[in-house]
Structure 1
Amino acid sequence: MDHAQSRSRPDSCAYVEDVSPGNGRLRPRASFGSDASALDLDGRWSFRLAAGPYDLTTGFEDPSFAPSDAGGWTRIAVPSSWQMDGVPGPGRFGAPAYTNVTFPIPVDPPRVPDENPTGEYRRTFEVEEGFGGGAAVLRFEGVDSCFAVWLNGRPLGDGKGSRLPTEFDVTDVLRPGRNVLAVRVHQWSAGTYLEDQDMWWLSGIFRSVRLLARPAGGITDFFVHADYDHRSGAGTLRIDVEGEARLSMPELGITDADPAGPYTLPGITPWSAEQPRLYAGELVAAGERVPLRLGFRRIAVEDGVLTANGAPLLLNGVNRHEWDPVSGRTLTPETMLADVLLMKRHHVNAVRTSHYPPETAFLDLCDEYGLWVVDECDLETHGFSENGWRGNPAATPAWRPALLDRAERMVERDKNHPSVVIWSLGNESGVGENLTAMAAWIRARDPDRLIHYEGEWDDCASTDLYSAMYADYPVVAAIGVGQEPRTGDPANDARRRAMPFLLCEYAHAMGNGPGGLRQYQELFELHPRLAGGFVWEWIDHGIARRGPDGTLHHAYGGDFGEPVHDGNFVADGLLFPDRTPSPGLLEYAKVIEPVRITARVDGGGIDVRNLHHTRDTGYLRWTWLLEVDGEHAGEGGWEVTATRAGGSGRADWPETLLKALDTAGPGERWLTVTARLDADEPWAAAGHTVAWAQFTPDAGSTRRTGQPGGEVPSPTPGSAAPAATPPAATAPVVRRRGSTVTLGAGAFDTVTGTLVRLGGLVLDGPRVDLWRAPIDNDRRSPLLEAWRRAGLHRLRHKVLDIAAGEAGLTVRTRITPAGLDLALLADYHWSTAAGNRLVLTVDTAPAAPWPVPLPRLGVAMSLPAALDRVSWFGLGPGESYRDSQEAVRVGRFASTVAAMQTPYVYPQENGNRRHVRWARITGAGPAGENGPGLEITGSPWFDLTAKPWSTGELAAARHPSDLRPDGRTHLNLDLEHHGLGSASCGPPLQPRHELAAVPARFTLGFGTVGTEVDHGIA
């Protein structure tokens, strides 16, 4: 038989542009395992990538067909996406493409382009005679975006709905011995118009394929109803089973019983994210045994408040796409477990499965380890918004079967997971009667869970929750007290106001950020109507790539030559692509930690607020640590009485701490109280930190931003703090020597007034700096354009005067951008201090009112690259900024310049250390010790950034692999930064975190440390 490639459009591909959900499929059912026979069909399949429907292999489904290299056939992994084959090297089969909203194909539903990459797959497998003793089912867990299937040359059908399972009955087609499975997968189809989900466009059989025996007398389907009454402590169990089966639950005293019950079971421990109690059992049929893990729980809305098991529920959640930088949306069990463990260890208690049902194994992990789940339908039509929502499937009757099919397949697959407490109709699909129909079907099928959809802001007609994205603080506060704007329909308005409010997306975690998390959390905890929210999103979707020199980086939109793309908007997660927690995740973990520790107002101990939903604090072990000027001054254990969930308690200082306070020497005293796991938990080992707080024990104040009376004061523009540097030992003497002016140990250039040498240390600077490498929240807001119009990235420094006087040396400058008359006046006042040190006081003032805030305000300087070690006393160990500093504490820390860089997928401002009292930048000394270098002191502190490249080089880079050390260590010593915010996809920065261009003063001290040897030191 001739199996040549077809060059005409085959009628057999009509299903591709059919709006129906598929043909020949079995009806959906629960996903469950059993002791029935099964054959895993994952592995290496024969594969050919065709250009479109005009380039198909005629007869490839025939069992006699023999794939050959000459016909373009090769091998590919199943499951996988064909565009990811070969990552991190160059791919063999097309390239990924990223768009957020815009469809990458013309919007012409249900038609798709003729250029429609199509994967042809073949797999040969063997089965024994009488496989399974009954019927047989071929199950695909996920195929993107449309596919047709043949077994032994016979067509089985076709399907759409990429992230949902599809099953075919193969009982009459399966043969003993050799079987040939053929699958044709199309990248674009009518289903594409329902799957515009802000992610990489990838194609193929990306989830597992299995052959399942369905034995005679087996279980077709079942639905567990396990309710919990918090008033009586009893559970109610009923299981609807299709097929004849008996139920055994030994823990509950149920043996060989009718699954339908119902059974009232006293003394049940309910399932919750904090205590995910699962009861083991099994359904036993004549031909099959199905293991069960049941969780009893009740999710409800009571008096406008979201509750679980009768108690208010606050969701501290994340939006999770399935992603791996090498395999794309194909995840291993180990990767899924890594996600769950990271969430648990960072206090995340909820997941929204944006924007499709995840691999079912992930939900098994959520059941086991404890995460509340909003299970979202495989539906987003966002791209229709670019065309005024014309033809939107949510409002077009012809698409209703497809939308209902997706809702049904999600609910039926996942209905037995106790972790799934809310069904979501989808995301950003406009409004329409098809969504209403989906909600009605779900509510009739499963009335015990809630329904979510974000797009119905006015009437929430289909939902049980009022949901929105990226609402600003005043809006959230108004909603919290029921004062959101009224709608036109009083009945709808009343319905919405009786609902809990959920931020299904907020705090866009793109690049350096998000800032302002604490303010959202304070609102959530203040107003019971606010059910919390889900940070967007869990992980950066970077794709691992190697440059020509072999350096690994992570690619984003546009890196594959896509004509339409949304750049690095796909890199907006709390994890870096390699699953390293970002500073944003550390900040979020601190903000949402489940135990709030604050200093008592009377200074005699601590107040403990237990924010857990279920657990008391008895599982924690408490310790204290006292430090003076960052040096250890005592530590010990602390018996703190357990506090019930939702309650408050207090504890007096232990005697050991009081003694340590009495004997501690003078200096800056900080007390850190920590609550750790007392014993191993499934998600972390004993000793894992659950909560901590830092106090100044003398004043009894807690180091927490946003808490009245507890915030560490920040020097603000216009303030003049007392100098922390030693007073001048003698009257300063200024001398001119050739091209330099000397003051104490410092030498200054006579033309620029810049400090060029301190003792034997050669340096460049400091001089006033206002620019930072824009962060994503700057770049994707109007702010960056305003900064560029103001010329802040192209400032020039003009020396007006260099004057020596009795107080030292004064350098007067004017800083202006090319082409504009906008100006900042900056005066540098240099004097000497004891210890051969210099003191710099900088006075800045705009020459006239400025139209924009400043990115940063401070000074920049550089040192020889050999000075690459940094130690400091201030906030650390990680980076922090004015609206993101919850996760750091005051202490002494040390790092290298290289390790102080945060590798955001798109290079940007990073690595700032706040409130630094002093810092030493040194080289390597003998025996690995720190060698000579520069010491900087603050008055009282400064922000410190140290980089092996300049701000200009950082701002010009598109990937971290573009950056190369330039032979200098670049320092920024700042009074303050503009805040981070979340404006890349959220509200503008809060005004209180803007850095206004107003008169300001700050003081720094400079001195050398160590022996002066050859590190650019004469």
Structure 2
Amino acid sequence: MTSYLTGFAPGAGRREPRAGFTSDAPRIELNGPWRFHLSPSVAEAPTGVADPEFDDSGWGELPVPSLWQMHGHGSPAYTNVDYPFPIEPPFVPDENPTGDYRRDFEVPEGWGGDGAAAVLRFDGVDSCFTAWLNGHELGFSTGSRLPTEFEVTEYLRPGRNVLAVRVHQWSAGSYLEDQDMWWLSGIFRDVTLLARPAGALDDFFVHAGYDAATGAGTLRVETSVPARLTVAELGLVDVPADATHTIAAVRPWTAETPRLYQAELSTAGERVPLRIGFRTVTVEDGLLKVNGERVLFRGVNRHEWHPEHGRALSEETMREDILLMKRHNINAVRTSHYPPHQRFLELCDELGLWVVDECDLETHGFLFVDWRDNPSDDPRWREAYLDRMRRTVERDKNHPSVIMWSLGNESGTGRNLEEMAAWTRRRDPDRPIHYEHDWDSRYVDVYSRMYASHEEVDAIGRRAEEPLEDAGADAHRRALPFVLCEYAHAMGNGPGGLTEYQRLFETHPRCQGGFVWEWIDHGIRRGDHFAYGGDFGEELHDGNFVTDGLVFPDRTPSPGLVEYKKVIEPVRITAEADLLRVTNLYDFRDLSHLSFGWTLEEEGVVVADGTLELPELPAGASTELPVPRLPETTGESWLTVRAVLAEDTPWAPAGHEVAWGQVAVRPAPGAASPATSTTGSTPVSTSVSTSGGTGAAAGPVTLGPGTFDRLTGRLTAIGGLALDGPRLDLWRAPTDNDRGGFPAMEKVWRGVGLDRLRHRVIGIDREDGSLVVRTRVAPAARDIGVLATYRWSLGAGDRLRLTLEVEPQGPWQVPFPRLGLRMALPAWIDRVRWFGRGPGEAYADSRQAARVGRFEASVEELQTPYVFPQENGNRADVRWATLTGPRGGLRVTGEPVFDLTARRWTSEDLDAAAHTVDLVPGDAVHVNLDLAQHGLGTASCGPGVLPEHALTARAATLTVTFAEVAAPTE
């Protein structure tokens, strides 16, 4: 086996790492189609591929940048923590897929000018590669998500040149790249030939500080050769770059106001355009501050992902990510768990995001061998660790958006991490250092945790967390700011509990927010659905754990992202008595960029609107305004105030909604009383009308417009609308969060049989004109159950009114998944209109984004297409809903409200499905009318449902009325 594949050296023949930048020096882009051949192992790879005359005519083509598994060469494989090869560092298996790349390119005569050098740059190759130019070996490199440069001046020639690259899927470096993502291989970032004219810059470091007390900026640029600096807007014209320049007044850079100054560095050999942002990052008074102010991270963890291209992203995709983040009030990104494409950071500078820039390092798989031989504390890996940190810091050091360096992720602790931190402090003392796995926080500047519970975050916020044994270390950690580098695992339906986390962040100054895991589902498009772990025949995989994002693989926002936007909105609009309170939650900016409009809705219909005039409101301030003069209404009425962009911005147009608040102006009128009494009891045979025969062959029972099955008491029709009437339902298709945790709620629920309930009729009676059906609902093999009493009566307007009373029996020690009614309507039902919360789905602990209003959708539009099918689509606090089609339909009215789902498959169908394509519409529309559902939580990786959102088994009552909707007339 090639020795460098299993050596500890991170590379050979490479240039020293330096800043990433572009200039006016010539460059040749080497992206595009390359000749490509994949071998199953190193031993089977062809020989002589570096020879310029090697015959590659029998090879196929592969685009660069790309990952070969995404183009049908081998298969993707997903593991979260497990290494997909034996843990025997630094060795890797003989079965090591090896890709050979070749391409010709032309170099013009005199390219670069007299005395020019030439550099070949690879921005990302997974996982290890060797390069040859015109038959000459340049060297090798590891560090997949990091740049590599080779000096090629002596090998480059005018005219035809041949570049050959051999890429290996596995190498010793793979032990340092055990991130939670797909294992994919290839040249997946840009390849460029750079001319370096005589006197050109090799490297530079921009130091642009801001003094919040005076408003002054200081600017100095370290350069590898003498250089001149021009920032015309600041009056700096052709001044020495390496001198310290003080500017009396500058506008600082923040994620909220990303002010950049256009600049230029010039040397004898080239000109380099710069965009400079003045800002100062400190940790003082136990807080992380930018420009003297505490910042609150409303962040996400972002992997690079595209469902068709993997980690090979276009600029368009990178920009789309940032625009979506900004439009959903996200202000920060942790680049999990490697430096992103450099263009992404340039866009963060331009559009405004705080960035925690993470090194390409994770050794999480050593967890399963008790961290034995973990490279983090093995001196043989020291240079590899330092090399990865150097290449991260040097490339990205000039981005104002980068305000913290992260040593990596989930790699245990050890001396190599300490040395990374020490080197970084020496090289860049102006940015704090982050690393989560060092819980003692000995060599970092912030205390970072993953998935700490609300209770623990509260204790940490009060600086009352569990003490460390070492008193000095404990005092050090207790004095640090706290950040949740991962929380609220956004897998499937959820996460729940965001509001309670945000409340803690806003209550405790030490708690400076966090980063939701994560931004995007890593689904791979496969026909008309998205694939996940195990779909490619992997012998070891972690299933759909790779689909845990706030946006779906195609970047459609999930309900979780919509909820997060509401929870973290930077303006809070509430009401106190007859006053509206507006609170500015920005860290830096006032609200002059926003306009505030209001609407008054009666029963969901707008009856009045206007605008609010706010006084100047700086960051952190609140103001109170009188409620606008409103017209009289008679129905349930809500005042909605919206904060929208007053003008176009680079990330959203004028009118984009940033925040909103709702105030109840008039409650709903009292629910109508039933037309008949519900007292007394007589046998059903003397109380209801029947038709035909006796006994089992007897006809149905009727009550007003309702027709009931004589034996079961179930409703079978309302007027001319046939249906399979409502009965008690306690089951939901488990969510990803239900399947996680210790114990997993799914296992608990299945363990007591809630997925296999049986119904037994106890009696069907009449009570003063009402039809009363008593049943017991219970699982096989258990002695617990629920008494369910259905009281049917005639309400106002001859509507059919149902009161469901439930009473648990036996030692219930688990919460219900849901509590409500299930029914089935004809398949021709296709539209749903409702007055309640919407327009999207909402659950007990994820409902802030659902406002009260009148909404309409098709049955299909009510579904949320989670990559792994599960409970979804619940509409909360519904006052009334109509479910209609071309032949009429049904109106359901709550007393006062109910939750609604409607879908073309059952909960059991959802439960059995593995992909969205498994959900096939049946011969009915299945409707749930719920009193409540158990909360969502975030137990797929994190805390479960908070007690206040658990659906405890207890006696309860749900009342709804039904009325047939006539078919539309021509």
Superposition TM-score tier, normalisation by shorter sequence: over 0.9
The aligned counterpart of 2:206 is 224
Offset, 1:355? 0.2
- 2:69 pairs, out of 83, 91, 94, with 83
Which digits, 9 at most, give the CA deviation of each residue in 1:913-945, with x for residues without a partner? 000011100103xxxxxx611011111000000
Matched, 1:789 2:751: yes
1:725–1:938 CA contact under 8 A, matched in 2: no
Matched, 1:139 2:121: yes
Q: Which amino acid aligns with 2:715?
A: L
The aligned counterpart of 1:5 is none
The aligned counterpart of 1:374 is 356
The aligned counterpart of 1:705 is none
The aligned counterpart of 2:634 is 666
Q: 1:270 to 1:725 in 2, by over 3 A?
A: farther
1:760–1:1012 CA contact under 8 A, matched in 2: no
2:770–2:792 CA contact under 8 A, matched in 1: yes
- 2:286 pairs, out of 304, 308, 332, with 304
1:725–1:839 CA contact under 8 A, matched in 2: no
Matched, 1:602 2:577: yes
Query: What is the distance in 1 between the residues matched to 2:678 and 2:938?
Result: 50
Aligned residues: 954
- 2:739 pairs, out of 761, 779, 782, with 779
Pairwise mapping of residues 641-680 of structure 1 onto structure 2 (< 5 A)? Answer: 641-653=615-627, 657-658=628-629, 661=630, 663-680=631-648
Pairwise mapping of residues 737-776 of structure 1 onto structure 2 (< 5 A)? Answer: 737=691, 738-776=698-736
The aligned counterpart of 1:615 is 589
The aligned counterpart of 2:559 is 583
Q: Secondary structure at the match of 1:942?
A: strand
Root-mean-square deviation (CA, aligned residues, Å) is 1.5
Matched, 1:477 2:458: yes
- 1:109 pairs, out of 89, 102, 118, with 89
Matched, 1:734 2:694: no
Query: What is the distance in 2 between the residues matched to 1:730 and 1:462?
Result: 71
Pairwise mapping of residues 346-361 of structure 1 onto structure 2 (< 5 A)? Answer: 346-361=328-343
Pairwise mapping of residues 232-271 of structure 1 onto structure 2 (< 5 A)? Answer: 232-271=214-253
Q: 1:729 to 1:1009 in 2, by over 3 A?
A: farther
Matched, 1:968 2:924: yes
Which digits, 9 at most, give the CA deviation of each residue in 1:313-358, with x for residues without a partner? 0010000000000000000000000001001111100000000000
2:676–2:768 CA contact under 8 A, matched in 1: no
Offset, 1:723? 4.5
TM-score (norm 2): 0.97
Q: Which amino acid aligns with 2:318?
A: M
The aligned counterpart of 2:477 is 496
Offset, 1:1012? 8.5
Offset, 1:835? 2.1
Pairwise mapping of residues 891-902 of structure 1 onto structure 2 (< 5 A)? Answer: 891-902=853-864
Matched, 1:918 2:880: yes
- 1:537 pairs, out of 512, 515, 518, with 518
Query: What is the distance in 1 between the residues matched to 2:33 and 2:316?
Result: 21
- 1:130 pairs, out of 83, 98, 110, with 110
Query: What is the distance in 1 between the residues matched to 2:957 and 2:658?
Result: 40
Q: Which runs of 5+ in 2 are unaligned?
A: 680-685, 692-697
Query: What is the distance in 1 between the residues matched to 2:163 and 2:52?
Result: 8
Offset, 1:602? 2.8
1:906–1:959 CA contact under 8 A, matched in 2: yes
Query: What is the distance in 2 between the residues matched to 1:726 and 1:342?
Result: 50
Offset, 1:809? 0.9
The aligned counterpart of 1:636 is 610
Query: What is the distance in 2 between the residues matched to 1:108 and 1:848?
Result: 54
Offset, 1:649? 1.6
Which digits, 9 at most, give the CA deviation of each residue in 1:515-540, with x for residues without a partner? 11010001001111111100000000
Q: 1:21 to 1:553 in 2, by over 3 A?
A: same
Pairwise mapping of residues 943-958 of structure 1 onto structure 2 (< 5 A)? Answer: 943-958=899-914
Matched, 1:936 2:892: yes
Q: 1:727 to 1:890 in 2, by over 3 A?
A: farther
Query: What is the distance in 1 between the residues matched to 2:367 and 2:99?
Result: 30
Query: What is the distance in 2 between the residues matched to 1:244 and 1:312?
Result: 37
Q: Which amino acid aligns with 2:385?
A: L
- 1:907 pairs, out of 869, 873, 877, with 869
The aligned counterpart of 1:272 is 254
Matched, 1:19 2:8: yes
Query: What is the distance in 2 between the residues matched to 1:120 and 1:368?
Result: 38
TM-score (norm 1): 0.92
1:817–1:823 CA contact under 8 A, matched in 2: yes
- 2:311 pairs, out of 326, 329, 338, with 329
Q: Which amino acid aligns with 2:65?
A: P
Query: What is the distance in 2 between the residues matched to 1:932 and 1:734?
Result: 27
Q: Secondary structure at the match of 1:159?
A: strand
Q: Secondary structure at the match of 2:653?
A: coil
Q: Secondary structure at the match of 2:87?
A: coil
Q: Which amino acid aligns with 2:28?
A: L
Q: Which runs of 5+ in 1 are unaligned?
A: 1-8, 86-90, 547-551, 700-711, 713-720, 925-930
Query: What is the distance in 1 between the residues matched to 2:670 and 2:258?
Result: 54
Offset, 1:29? 0.2
Which digits, 9 at most, give the CA deviation of each residue in 1:225-255, with x for residues without a partner? 0011000110111100001211111111111
1:195–1:378 CA contact under 8 A, matched in 2: yes
Q: Secondary structure at the match of 1:105?
A: coil
Query: What is the distance in 2 between the residues matched to 1:988 and 1:691?
Result: 28
Q: Secondary structure at the match of 1:933?
A: strand
Pairwise mapping of residues 30-109 of structure 1 onto structure 2 (< 5 A)? Answer: 30-69=19-58, 73-85=59-71, 91=72, 93-109=73-89
Q: Which amino acid aligns with 1:727?
A: A
The aligned counterpart of 2:184 is 202
Query: What is the distance in 2 between the residues matched to 1:592 and 1:806?
Result: 53
1:733–1:744 CA contact under 8 A, matched in 2: no
The aligned counterpart of 1:1005 is 961
Pairwise mapping of residues 696-711 of structure 1 onto structure 2 (< 5 A)? Answer: 696-697=664-665
The aligned counterpart of 1:566 is 542
Query: What is the distance in 2 between the residues matched to 1:735 and 1:834?
Result: 20
Using the aligned pairs only, state the percent identity: 59
Which digits, 9 at most, give the CA deviation of each residue in 1:362-407, with x for residues without a partner? 0000000000000000000000001000010101110010000000
- 2:653 pairs, out of 682, 685, 698, with 685
Q: 1:724 to 1:522 in 2, by over 3 A?
A: farther
The aligned counterpart of 1:984 is 940
1:616–1:642 CA contact under 8 A, matched in 2: yes
2:678–2:767 CA contact under 8 A, matched in 1: no
Offset, 1:558? 0.4
Query: What is the distance in 2 between the residues matched to 1:304 and 1:739?
Result: 77
Q: Which amino acid aligns with 2:598?
A: W
Query: What is the distance in 1 between the residues matched to 2:626 and 2:763?
Result: 60
Matched, 1:295 2:269: no
Q: Secondary structure at the match of 2:896?
A: strand
Query: What is the distance in 2 between the residues matched to 1:352 and 1:730?
Result: 61
Q: Secondary structure at the match of 2:272?
A: strand
Q: Secondary structure at the match of 1:131?
A: coil
Task: Please identify, of 740-749 and 187-196, the stretch whose mean Cα deviation from structure 2 is larger.
Answer: 740-749
Query: What is the distance in 2 between the residues matched to 1:1008 and 1:836?
Result: 11
Query: What is the distance in 2 between the residues matched to 1:22 and 1:970?
Result: 60
The aligned counterpart of 1:801 is 763
1:470–1:987 CA contact under 8 A, matched in 2: yes
Offset, 1:834? 2.8
Offset, 1:596? 0.8
Which digits, 9 at most, give the CA deviation of each residue in 1:719-755, with x for residues without a partner? xx97556634999961122331111111111111110
